[in-house]
C-alpha cells in the first residue's frame, strides 16, 4: 500500500475517486500512522508482533516552498475584499496576518481575545501548549467589524449560526481562482507570513516564536524562501570587493 500510494495513481485514499498522481507524503503519513497503531496493539496485548511497518523506507519528501509574493498580494487582497461572507473573509485575513493554523483560526472564541491589549490566546495548539499572538491593528479592526451572535461563542460563525466555520476549502478555491493563484494552498498563507518576516529582516528565532514552532529546524525553511536578503548581502559584498579595482573585468 505504501509503495502503491507513493509511486502511482491510486484509489486507496479516495475510493471511487482515483488520485491522478502519486502521493509520497500521504504514503509516509499513512506508514507513520499504521506503525503507531501496531505499536499500541503490541503494548495492549492485541498483536503478538512484529510490527509489519518496521524497516519500510519512507519516500523522499520535497518541502513545499510556495508563498504569496509581493506582486501577487494585491490580487489576493482584492479577492478577499470581494468575498460576500464576512466570517470567511475575516478568517482568511486573520490567517494571513497572524500565521495561525487553519483550525486555530476557525475555532477562535471571543473569550480568547483581549481586545484592549490586542492579544489572542490560542488555548490548544499543535505544539501542545497555549500560544499568545499579538493581533496587528488591521486584523483587530476586521475582527471588530464582524457581527457578534449572542448564542455563539465563536468569532467565525458557521452554518446555522450555532458553531464555527468548518469547511472553508470551497471558499478558498473561489478566492484563489479570482486572484489567479490556483496553485496557492490554504497552508501557504502561514508560509507567506514566515517568508515576509524573513524579507523584513526578522530573525529565525523570532519567526519560530511567532509561528509557535517546537523545533527550530522547522523554521529553517523560511530562510531559503526569500532571495532578497541574500541578494542584498551579495550586492553589498560585491561593492566592497570591487572598490579595490577601478575596472576589475576590463582588459589592462
- Which three cell numbers mark 227? 532571495
More confident residue, 67 or 243: 67
Quick one: 55 and 78 in the same domain? no
Domain membership of residue 126 as a residue range: 73-185
Which pLDDT does position 250 carry in this prediction?
A: 58
Which pLDDT does position 140 carry in this prediction?
A: 93
Number of structural domains found in the chain: 2
**Portion of the chain with pLDDT greater than 90, in percent:** 48
Total residues belonging to the chain: 252
Average pLDDT over residues 130-138: 91
**At 224, is the pLDDT very low, low, confident or very high (cuts 50, 70, 90)?**
low
Quick one: 150 and 97 in the same domain? yes
How far apart are the C-alpha atoms of 73 and 232, rounded to whole Å?
A: 22
Which pLDDT does position 223 carry in this prediction?
A: 66
The domain that contains 85 carries what CATH number? 1.10.443.10
Average pLDDT over residues 222-249: 70
- Any residues with CB less than 8 A from the CB of 44 and at least 6 apart, and which? none
Residue among 79, 97, 100 nearest 142 (CA): 97
Quick one: 102 and 180 in the same domain? yes
Helix (H, G, I), strand (E, B) or coil at 158: coil
Domain-embedded: residue 229: no
Which pLDDT does position 247 carry in this prediction?
A: 60
Burial class of residue 118 (count of CB atoms within 10 Å of its CB; 0-12, 13-18, 19+):
middle
Which pLDDT does position 49 carry in this prediction?
A: 84
Which pLDDT does position 14 carry in this prediction?
A: 61
| The last residue of a domain, from among 156, 185, 214 | 185
Domain-embedded: residue 231: no
Dump pLDDT digits (tens) for 29-85. Answer: 999 999 999 999 999 999 998 999 999 999 987 767 788 998 999 999 999 999 999
| The last residue of a domain, from among 31, 62, 93 | 62
Amino acid at each position: 500500500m505504501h509503495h502503491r500510494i507513493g509511486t502511482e495513481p491510486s484509489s486507496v485514499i479516495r475510493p471511487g475517486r482515483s488520485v491522478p498522481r502519486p502521493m509520497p507524503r500521504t504514503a509516509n503519513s499513512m506508514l507513520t500512522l499504521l506503525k503507531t497503531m501496531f505499536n499500541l496493539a503490541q503494548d495492549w496485548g492485541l498483536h503478538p508482533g512484529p510490527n509489519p511497518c518496521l524497516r519500510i523506507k519512507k519516500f523522499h519528501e520535497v518541502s513545499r516552498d510556495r508563498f504569496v509574493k509581493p506582486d501577487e498580494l494585491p490580487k489576493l487582497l482584492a479577492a478577499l475584499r470581494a468575498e460576500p461572507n464576512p466570517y470567511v473573509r475575516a478568517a482568511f485575513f486573520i490567517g494571513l496576518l497572524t500565521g495561525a493554523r487553519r483550525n486555530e483560526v476557525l475555532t477562535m472564541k471571543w473569550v480568547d481575545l483581549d481586545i484592549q491589549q490586542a492579544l489572542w490566546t490560542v488555548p490548544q495548539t499543535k505544539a501542545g501548549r497555549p500560544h499568545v499572538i499579538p493581533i496587528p491593528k488591521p486584523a483587530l479592526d476586521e475582527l471588530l467589524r464582524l457581527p457578534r451572535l449572542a448564542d455563539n461563542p465563536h468569532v467565525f460563525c458557521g452554518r446555522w449560526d450555532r458553531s464555527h466555520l468548518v469547511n472553508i476549502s470551497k471558499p478558498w478555491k473561489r478566492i484563489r481562482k479570482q486572484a489567479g493563484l490556483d496553485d496557492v494552498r490554504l497552508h501557504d498563507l502561514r508560509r507567506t507570513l514566515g517568508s515576509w518576516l524573513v524579507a523584513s529582516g526578522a530573525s529565525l528565532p523570532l519567526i519560530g516564536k511567532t509561528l509557535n514552532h517546537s523545533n527550530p529546524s522547522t523554521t529553517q525553511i523560511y530562510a531559503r524562501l526569500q532571495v532578497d536578503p541574500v541578494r542584498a548581502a551579495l550586492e553589498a559584498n560585491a561593492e566592497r570587493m570591487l572598490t579595490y579595482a577601478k575596472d576589475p573585468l576590463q582588459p589592462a
